[in-house]
Structures are given as structure tokens and as C-alpha cells.
Structure 1
Amino acid sequence: MNCKTCDKQLVDIDKFCSNCGAKIVHERLSFKGTIEEFIGPFFSWDNNFWRTFFGLFKNPKDVLEAYINGARKKYFQPFSYIILYATVAVFFYKLFPMEIITDYSEGLNKDFNSTNANALKFDMKSYMETLMNYYNFFVLLLIPLYALTSYIIFNKRGHNFFEHLVFNSYLQSNLGFISLVLQVILVNFLGMSFGIYSLLFLFLFILFTLYAFKKLYHQNFKQSIFSAIKYLLLFFGLYFGIIMIVFILIGIIYALIVLK
């Protein structure tokens, strides 16, 4: 008998190929086998997903450094972790939408029309629904900004920007999975306002991120507090700087369209 993946010769009692590590499958594909192949591994407590998720709480240093040190199969790969979270988040928000959207379109368009009769209609409700429904997905777009922030703060620790990109991919994806659970419990079921939920999650984000870097760089309490202050000031400085640039660009584009 030969391995179906690499064609290495095997013995009948082998369950895995000693050359490529592929699982040896003898049975034909069936309904039960399909369930085991596609659903079973994800819910297995010994698979890479759960090992990565809980490892980031129990031993974040090992998880964060494993990928950049070459241990690529020990934990879930960081960018696959992002894709998995983004996919789950899209379906999640379809199942558990946040019914907290207020329609500001009428007032906004009234202000625009008072200054220009040809002003474009802006559907604020649709915009807010899109923002809320894909809130966590948009957060992932900020991962390079998180990476830049931690790289600047910890630039003397020896890790480059791309390694910090890996670190923050793990951390923000893990926080994303947690936020999905918190949202459905606190916002959808218990009726907590999105504003309070956002503040709670911001606190959780700060706590978890700094905990992970504290473990990664063996910081004491005083160093962690100092790093937290620098992190918050730098991140929000960069964040609001980018927001201002985006609004300026949108304003320029809008002015060009209206004045055309």
C-alpha cells in the first residue's frame, strides 16, 4: 500500500504517512464521514484552532513566537486565523443583527440641500447598518495600524514590523471571536446599548493586548502601565490622523462632484 499523497510505501497498520504526515483513509466517503471530516475537526478540543485560541490566554508568548520561529503547524496560521474570523463574523452579523440604527438621513440631507439645491442624497441609515453589521470585519482592516503601533512602542525588543503584523493578527482575531460572543449575550439578548458595549470591549482590548505583550517581553507592572499609556496615545493619534485624512479626501471628492 502506498500513500495517496506522496506515494511512499506504507504498511497496512499505518494510520499516518511517516513521510508527509497525511492521514491514511481506507473507507469510502459517506454522510457520517463527511460530518467527521468537515465539522468534527473544528469542534475537536485538540485541534489547532482551540489550541491557538486558548493558548493566547494561557501562554501568549509561545503562540506569538511559534510562527515567526518556524513552528508553522503547531498553531493556527495567523492570516488563516484572520480569514476564519472574518468569514464567521459575516455570517454572525446576518444571524444576529444589531437593531440600534437611527435614521439621520433626513436631517443630514436637509442640511446639505439648504446650501446646495443639487446636493446628493445620502442614506445615513444604510451607511450605519453597513458599519454596524460589519463592525468587527472593519476592525480587521486596522491590524496594520495595530502592528505599526506595537512596532513603534516595542521597537527595541528585536521584532520587525512584519513580525508585529503576525502578533496583532493573532491578538485581534482572538478578540474578534470574543466580541462575537459578548455581542450576542450583552447586546442582542440582554439589551445593552452599543455605546456601553463598545466601551467595555475597548477596555477588554487594552487589557488583553497589553497582557499578551507583557508576557511576550517579560514586562513588570510598571513597564506595562507605561507601555499602555504610550500605546493608547500613539494608536489613537494615528487612528484619528487617518480618519482626518479620509474625511478630507471624501470632502474633496464630494466638492468636485457637486461643483462639476
Structure 2
Amino acid sequence: MDCKNCGTILNENFNYCPDCGARIIRNRLTFKNLSHYVTEHYFDLDNTFLRTFIHLFTKPELVIDGYISGIRKKYLNPINYLGIALTLSGLLYFLMQKVFVLEEMDMDVFNQGVNPVFYEKIMPVIYDFSSLVFILFIPIFGIAGWLTFNKKGYLFSEYLVVMLYTLAQFSILSFLISLIVLTLDPQNYVMMSTIMLPIMFVFSVYVMQRINKLSMGQVLLRTCLFMILALIGYFGLIMAFYAILFATGTITLEDLKPVKN
């Protein structure tokens, strides 16, 4: 018998390949086997996903610093964790388009009298490119954190790992909260999304502080600097997004004119 992943010759009693570590699969992919795999890997209380999710709240320094220092089996790696976050985000936008009634949402949360046509034009773009925009936040927050919260002297590439875990964690949490709000109170979904933005900044600072363990004075100063740099990058990205919409003719200045009550 050969390993299906690396081709190494295996003994019949092997459960894992001694060369690449892959699990030996002997059964065909039936619905029963597939459901068992999903349950074992994502809903077992001792699996790496739940352990990663819980510990990124309670002790994020163990997850992130551990991965950077070489611990790669105890927790889900940041790329896979980001993949789960993006999948859930895509599922959420699919449900918003196909299941939930968008007309029930209050888009103009600040009562600025924004033209409804404006939202009708940009929402499909947001659905299509939400994952790309989210990924672009990772280097923006990474640069801000690397320049302000870096007592341990991480390389920039290592600080990207910090933000991969942090923003993926926040995205997964947002998915759970969004489903609840969309189910119970869809009119306030946009308001909830607006409130979640400062929470994302606060959670990022919390994770970086747990990793670097700075004094209170250092935390306050570096938090202000981090917020400034991150907001510059955030609004720069938003401005670039709208510039592209104007350049492609997706929206016009006429769409921005407020509606008179």
C-alpha cells in the first residue's frame, strides 16, 4: 500500500504516513464518513478549530507567539483559519442576498438622507469584493501594529501572522453576531456593522498587548499611534474603493445627492 499524498510505501497496519504525516484513508467518501469527518474536525471540543477559536479570546499570545516560535500542530495555522473566516463571510453575504430581506435594513443609519440608489449600486460590489477588501486590511493593520506594538521585535512577515489570526478571529465572531442580528432584527444590521468597527480596533489592541505585555502608559501611547496609522490606512482603502467606483462609472456624483424629506 502506498501513501496517496507522497507515495511512500506503507505497512497495512499504519494509520498515518511516517514520511508526510498524512492520515491513511481506507474508506470511500460516503455521506456517513463525510459527516463523521466534519463532526470530528470542527465540532469536537478537543479539535484544533475550537481550541484556536477559544484561546484567541482567552490567551491569544499562546496561539500566535506559539505559531511564530514553531508550534504548528496544537492550533490551526493562520492560513487555514483565514480560509474558514472567508468562507463564513461568503456564506453570510450569500444569505443576505438570497434569504434575508435587504429592504428591511436601515442603510442610512446616521439619517443623512442618502439616496437609496447609491446603496443599490454599491451593495453588489461589496458582495463581490468583500473578501478582497478584508484581506487588504491585514497588511494595513500589520504595518500599524508592527510600527507601534512590537516589543518582541517581530519581523513584518511575522506581524502579518498576528493580524491574520486577529482579523480572522474577529471575522468569525462577526459572522455569528451578524446571523443573530439578521434573524432577529435585520433593520439594525448596518448599525451593528458600524458598531463592530471600533470593536475590531479594540480587539486588535487587546491581542497585541497580550503578546507584548507593555506597561499601562506604553499601551495608551501606542494605542493612539496604532489607531492613527490604522485609520489612515482604513480610510485610504475606502477612498481608493470609491475612486474605482467613480472611475468605472458604477456610481456618479448624482447618486451622492441627499434625498429631500
For the criterion TM > 0.5, the same-fold answer is yes
Distance 1:211-1:26 versus aligned 2 partners, 3 A rule: same
Aligned to 2:121: 127
Runs (5+) with no aligned partner, structure 1: 109-122, 255-260
CA distance in 1, matches of 2:155, 2:238: 26
TM-score normalised according to structure 2 size: 0.75
Q: Give the % identical residues.
A: 26
Bigger Rg, structure 1 or 2: 1
- Of the three residues 136, 139, 148, the one matched with 2:143 is 148
Alignment of 1:27-38 (within 5 A): 27-38=27-38
Aligned to 2:229: 234
CA distance in 2, matches of 1:184, 1:7: 45
Aligned to 2:105: 100
| Count of residue pairs the alignment pairs up | 240
Could you list the structure 1 runs, at least 4 aligned residues long, displaced by more than 6 angstroms after superposition: none
Q: Which residue identity lines up with residue 212 of structure 2 in the other structure?
A: Y
Native 8 Å contact 2:3 2:9 kept in 1: yes
Runs (5+) with no aligned partner, structure 2: 109-113, 250-261
Q: Which residue identity lines up with residue 175 of structure 1 in the other structure?
A: F
CA distance in 1, matches of 2:164, 2:210: 17
Distance 1:220-1:250 versus aligned 2 partners, 3 A rule: same
Structure ranking higher on relative contact order (CA contacts 8 Å, 6+ apart): 2
- SS of aligned partner of 1:141: helix
Aligned to 1:22: 22
Aligned to 2:74: 74
Deviations 1:69-89 (A, max 9, x none): 222333222122222211221
Q: Does 1:7 align with 2:2?
A: no
Deviations 1:117-154 (A, max 9, x none): xxxxxx62333323664686333321110101101113
TM-score normalised according to structure 1 size: 0.75
Native 8 Å contact 1:90 1:134 kept in 2: no
Distance 1:4-1:252 versus aligned 2 partners, 3 A rule: closer
Distance 1:195-1:63 versus aligned 2 partners, 3 A rule: same
Q: Does 1:208 align with 2:200?
A: no
